Amino acid sequence: MTAPDGPGDRNDAAATNTSPPSPPSPPSPPDRGGERGGARSDDRGGYGRGGDRGGDRGERRFERSDRPRAPMTVKARLRAAARKKARKGKKKGMFQRRKVCRFCADKGAVLDYKEVKTLRLFISETGKMTPRRISGTCAKHQRKLATEIKRARHIALLPYAPSHM
């Protein structure tokens, strides 16, 4: 056996391999065993049907900028333009008049479960109570209004569901 003269004369397998080493794979989670909660072949992260909920466990999710984009259809382009226009309109300072509580403003208006006509103004067509931010009622009267609507529903003056209307 003769000694190699230079680096090109080596018959070593490591010297002939020119590809860079592959990066190490992420470590697999430890096997917990047992019937419940263990790592099974059909286990998808332990959160039911949703899969992994984030954190740094294994595969990396696509960021919005990393995701490959398909060419936009005409309909999608129009939808995006409409969204952009809506956002632009909100920034301009579209001032809306401050809502005033109807019961504070008009002391004659009485909140009573028997006055279905008044209560219907505070119920949507699906039968839900309208929230304060939409109806404009103050907190005190909204609480009273909710109780009166519930009372009227209980004795079937108001509907619980849209099918009852």
pLDDT tens readout for residues 97-135: 788 999 999 988 889 999 999 999 999 989 999 999 999
Q: Is the pLDDT of residue 23 over 60?
A: yes
Higher pLDDT, 70 or 53: 70
How far apart CA 73 and CA 59 sit, in angstroms, is 31
pLDDT band at 84 (very low <50, low <70, confident <90, very high): confident
Assigned domain for 6 exists: no
pLDDT at 42: 53
Nearest to 101 by CA among 115, 125, 122: 122
Assigned domain for 64 exists: no
Q: Is the pLDDT of residue 159 over 70?
A: yes
138-151 burial: b if 16+ Cβ within 10 Å, else e: eeebbeebeebbee
Domain that holds residue 145: 102-164
Q: Is the pLDDT of residue 11 over 80?
A: no
Assigned domain for 9 exists: no
Assigned domain for 15 exists: no
Assigned domain for 42 exists: no
